[in-house]
Amino acid sequence: MLATIVVWQQFDLMKNKDLGYDKNNLIGIEQISWNGKGEAFKNELQRIPGVVRSSLSLWMPTEGAGYMQREVKDPAHAGRRLRVWYIAGDVDLPATLGLKLAKGRMFSNRFADALNADSLREKDFVKFEKAQLNQNSLMTASAAKMLGIKRLDVQAENVQTVPVGIVGDFHNESLYEPMKPTLILAQKAPEYAGMLIRIEPGTEMQVAAGIRKLWKQFFPEKLLRINNIAEQLTQQYEAEAKLHQLFLFFSGLTMFLSALGIFGLVVQAAEQRAKEVGIRKVLGASVAGIVGLISKDFVKLVVIAIVVASPLAWYALQKWLENYPYRTTVHWWVFAATGFTTLAVTIGTVGFQAIRAATADPVRSLRNE
């Protein structure tokens, strides 16, 4: 029972934890080669009723921490290296995700934020490398702190970009991994990318139908895969969901079998003490007193079991939770609730038969004496 509650709490935490971006009302088209039509498709997509915003993105939730990671010098410790992650998309990516701006500004088409990376890379790789050094970027708060970024709109030498804004930290991987310090870069109409689409609540079916119709016009030969981002994120924790179901089933089965065992024992005890119960009733013992007499030994054993099991369960569950960077706490009320439930089941099972024994006619048990 303890394990069932704690596993459920951990699964609930992972399913409902704030990721730093809004996973609800967000759908995604899996990554494809857009054949130069990505920007046009996005513009037409915006006309579909229910679509709030969309973005061509090289990063999709559940598909890794980013397209690149880099080791950079630690400004606070000479000789030490730090690792940062990069994700990229068009200028609408941060707003589509619902990232929270902490300082500076978001990407905008009014500024030269987006780099035409595909075109530059193909035409002149040296020019592409130089352009990257001066490319504007957004940083997560943890990346800015780690890299000692105190001023915006000036080049950060370590990461070789120009940070123009700082956004709140967000989980760009599953909760099996700690949060990564991340930089976001903007690219003009990336050729190979997915698409994230922010929709109005309750319009998913309507928007999906509109996307399929538009897809046939632009890419009749390509397979369309639309995913609900919130559902995809929950599916990452399928192991925890199955573990909880397994514990729930076996906990229920164990409690049922235990109740049957206790019922059998109390029936036997009541039969063995039938004459004693009869004599006590004749001498004026109350029903409550007789029920307490029969029940106390069983309750005592259950209390001992709770005392023995609780520290062992606490230790085992703490060890299991160490596998998760973000984990629930094994609260004292979990032990109180499971102890109370176990005692309630025991008392209910024992009490039913004990009351029957206590209210039986004493003449029947004493007539042979």
The total number of residues written for the chain in this structure: 369
pTM, entire model:
0.79
Calculate mean pLDDT across residues 126-152.
80
pLDDT band at 93 (very low <50, low <70, confident <90, very high): very high
The Cβ-side half-sphere exposure at 7, using a 13 Å CA radius, reads 21
CA distance 181 to 274: 73
Q: Of the given ranges (51-55, 68-72, 121-125), which has the lowest mean pLDDT?
A: 121-125
pLDDT band at 129 (very low <50, low <70, confident <90, very high): low
Instruction: State pLDDT tens for residues 197-236.
Output: 999 999 999 999 999 999 999 999 999 999 999 999 999 9
Q: ∠ at Cα 262 (256, 264), nearest 5°?
A: 105
Structure tokens at 191: 């050729």
What ranges make up the beta strands (E) of the chain? 26-33, 51-57, 68-73, 81-89, 101-104, 114-115, 136-140, 162-167, 182-187, 192-199, 226-228
Query: Would the pLDDT of 260 be above 90?
Result: no
* Contact predicate 298/266, CB 8 Å: yes
Q: Highest mean pLDDT range out of 52-56, 69-73, 160-164, 255-259?
A: 52-56
Place of tokens 């990407």: 107
pLDDT band at 244 (very low <50, low <70, confident <90, very high): confident
Q: Which residues of 320-344 are buried (b: 16+ CB within 10 A; e: fewer)?
A: ebeeeeebbebeeebbeebbeebee
Give the pLDDT confidence score for residue 44 in this predicted structure: 95
Instruction: State pLDDT tens for residues 152-203.
Output: 988 887 788 889 999 999 998 999 999 999 999 998 888 889 999 999 999 9
Structure tokens at 276: 């004693």
* DSSP assignment of 166-183: EE----SS-TTSPPPPEE
Average pLDDT along the chain: 85
* Contact predicate 180/87, CB 8 Å: no
pLDDT band at 117 (very low <50, low <70, confident <90, very high): low
